[in-house]
Amino acid sequence: MKRAFLAINPPPEVKETLFLKTLPLKEDFRKGAVKWVEKENIHLTLLFLGLIKETKKIEENLSQINFNPFEINLSRISYFPEDRRKARMIWARGEEIEELTSLFKKVKEKTGRSQEDFTLHITLARLKTWEMKKTPLEEIPYIEEDLDIQFPVTSFELMESKLKKEGPEYKVIKSFSAKT
pLDDT digits (tens, 9 = 90+) for 102-135: 999 999 999 988 777 788 999 999 998 777 778 8
Q: What is the per-residue pLDDT for 39?
A: 95
Q: What is the per-residue pLDDT for 168?
A: 87
* Catalytic pick among 93, 113, 121, 128: 121
Residue 121 is a catalytic residue: yes
* Domain 2-177 in CATH 3.40.50.300: no
Sign of CA dihedral 111, 117, 122, 124: negative
CA distance 128 to 122: 18
Q: Which residues of the chain have pLDDT under 70?
A: 180
Residue 20 CB partners (closer than 8 Å, separation 6+): none
* Catalytic pick among 43, 72, 111, 124: 43
